[in-house]
Amino acid sequence: MSSFDKEVETYAKTLLPHCKLFIDGEFIESKSGKRMEVIHPATEKVFCTVSEGDSDDIELAVQAAERALKGEWGNMDPSKRQELLFKLAEEWDKQVEELAQLESLNNGSPIATSRYVIKGLTDTWKYNAGWIDKLGGRVCVTDKKFHVYTKREPLGVIGVISPWNLPMWCSLVNIAPAIAMGNCVILKPAEQTPLTALKLAEIMQKVGIPKGVYNVVTGYGPTAGNAIVKHMRISKVAFTGSTQVGRNIMKGAAESNLKQVHLELGGKSPVVVFGDANIDEAVQLAAFAVFNNNGQICTAGSRTYVHESIYDKFVEKASQYVSSFKVGFNLDETNNFGPLVNKMQYDKVKQFIEIGKKEGAKLIAGGDFDGLPQKGYFVKPTVFANVTDSMTIGKEEIFGPVQSILKWKDIDDVIERCNASPYGLAAAIFTKNIDNMFLLSDKIKAGTVWVNNYHNVLHNAEFGGYKQSGFGREGGEEGVKAWTTVKTVVIQLQSNL
């Protein structure tokens, strides 16, 4: 073992949470006794193992959640629930650095990215806790012989299946509102990145969240994940990940108890750069759009459409800018890029780079592996120019650090090209012209459109996709309402009964 491997292993052990399942407020081994290996992406070494849960453990978690709903949690006053969640937000904020380091060790994200994301989730807890005493029902206007009102109630037991790229963000944007509205949650984190989910369990214990409210079953998708999807007493499942798996989850939900489904899926987001944009600023912002979090982000602006009047200059500057990025160990603050999450993703991104070369795109930055660490799943940020919409890298989601720069001339044409994708998660417009800002914001079919900025997903604004990027919203009022159901009560006055 190299000195670097030893350093990482020793450091990781100081951060590790309990590496068992968390069910009914306790850390326990899985019923099968099996364990899963967790690989560190910078060293390709196993740095811990966690319990491998399956359908038997999901059943235990459902039973624990049901007891909580019938007991302390279900009978708790909203004011007490709100108090607990504000206390949880306070404790979360105290542990931001440890959570960020654990997240980065687990999935390869640059530490600055993890720190920013984890810190922002403090406000997510607070925002959703704030809705507890504000989201209610209404009194309906009816004939005088009736008194009719509605009330919002929790859905019950919720399943959350989270991805590996932003494990805590993708989990908490569903967990925080679900718990705030009085539900109980079973989280199945991605098998590659289970550690911060278990760290959250420790925080839940510390602040006194009742048993059964938050449960974690680490395991694989076909076993533990599928058990959530097909369980007859789980009311809703939220999934973040690939579009194909999203289809399977919809099918499983339909074939079981017709549970509600929330899906945040793939994307191939366009960035439209107008000729009046500041080229230097646009180059840097377009790079951030696609390369943030090592390019492993569902909103990645991987289709960069640049107006023909500035195209050549933009390409030249993009090559210079991206070639200056540093790739290396992701806890080193001086590095811009860390490793990809695992070998499967590493091989997939390498394959897309080779396809781009073969299909005739012009490689202007990256695309080689010279000077990278011998171990670890490191890929240089890669930029292709002269990309067309028909090329594989111009239309398929890569989920890695690969930017495609395409040329456009006519505004109606570029709108049509943006909308030709089966995805519709996000888009961006870089321009000084206010008419074009509003025109494209209206015409592009995407759940979020950023104008002269990118990746600003706010806890008090709805986020979600169009088309095959999924449905349902995270954040904002709609993201809170999604975890309730409405009951209508009709009372007949002056009844003879």
Q: Catalytic residue numbers?
A: 264, 298
DSSP string, 254-285: HHTT--EEEEE-----EEEE-TTS-HHHHHHH
DSSP string, 202-256: HHHHHHTPPTTSEEE--B-IIIIIHHHHH-TT--EEEEES-HHHHHHHHHHHHHT
DSSP string, 474-488: BSHHHHHHTTEEEEE
Dihedral sign, Cα of residue 143, residue 148, residue 149, residue 150 = negative
* CA–CA dist 198, 23 (Å, integer): 11
Query: What is the side-by-side order of every strand in the sheet holding 139-140?
Result: 139-140, 146-154, 484-492
46: Cβ contacts below 8 Å, ≥ 6 apart? 37, 38, 39, 40
3-state secondary structure of 366: coil
Please list, residue by residue across 364-376, b when 16 or more beta carbons sit within 10 angstroms of its beta carbon and e when fewer do.
bbbbeeeebeebb
Q: What is the chain's percent helix, strand, coil content, to nearest 5?
A: 40, 20, 40
Strand (E) or helix (H) holding 12: helix 3-15
* CA–CA dist 212, 208 (Å, integer): 12
445: Cβ contacts below 8 Å, ≥ 6 apart? 418, 419, 424, 466, 467
List the beta bridge partners of residue 263: 239, 471
Q: Are 418 and 270 in contact (CB under 8 A)?
A: yes
| Backbone dihedral angles phi then psi of residue 384, each to the nearest 5 degrees | -115, 135
* CA–CA dist 444, 464 (Å, integer): 14
Tell me 463's DSSP state: B
SS3 for 152-198, per residue?
Answer: EEECCEEEEECCCCCHHHHHHHHHHHHHHCCCEEEEECCCCCCHHHH
CA atoms within a 13 Å half-sphere pointing along the CA-CB vector of 343: 6
Name the packing angle between helices 195-207 and 96-107 (round to 10°). Answer: 160
